Amino acid sequence: MMLAPYLIFEGTCEEAFEFYKNCFEGEIITLTRYNGSPEPVPEDYKEKVMHAELVFENNSIQGCDQMPGKLFVKGTDFSLSISVMEVFVLDKIFSRLAEGGTVTMPLQDTFWGARFGTITDRFGIRWMFSCDLN
């Protein structure tokens, strides 16, 4: 199981990840743009970052650019991202953290090949869950 901060930016994700890459002497191993999404995306946002991941030593930072029109508060918009190897583990942890909280996206299979879902727990902390199905 891996726990990583998931940072959300207002259109500056790629710039931020390049900066962090240099600071931590890491490697950006994933950078996916919104133009690959089946969801409708404004034309001027298609080249923005849908998902990025930076690794350094035994650490990972993930992030994206917030879709236009969604509430964004600079410096406070983040989630904790949990990646697991087995779907039954994902389901178990998801169910436990959902108790008393709000499921904001039920667990579901996605177009990028993962089982994914999101929760805001009873303490107001946002969680993202992912299990690679490939």
CATH code: domain of residue 38: 3.10.180.10
How high is the mean pLDDT of the chain? 91
The residue segments making up the domain with residue 127 are 2-132
The pLDDT of residue 41 is: 86
Parallel/antiparallel/unpaired status of strands 2-9 and 59-65? parallel
> Please, which residues have CB within 8 angstroms of residue 118's CB and are 6 or more apart in sequence?
79, 103, 104, 105, 126, 127, 128, 129
Tell me the C-alpha distance between 134 and 130, whole Å. Answer: 12
pLDDT tens, N- to C-terminus, the chain (134 residues): 889 999 999 899 999 999 999 989 999 999 999 997 888 888 989 999 999 999 999 999 999 999 877 777 777 788 999 999 999 999 999 999 999 999 999 999 999 999 999 999 887 888 999 999 98
Largest CA distance in the chain: 40
- DSSP element (H, E) containing 56: strand 49-56
The 10s digit of each residue's pLDDT in 69-92 is: 777 777 778 899 999 999 999 999
Q: Domain tally for the chain?
A: 1
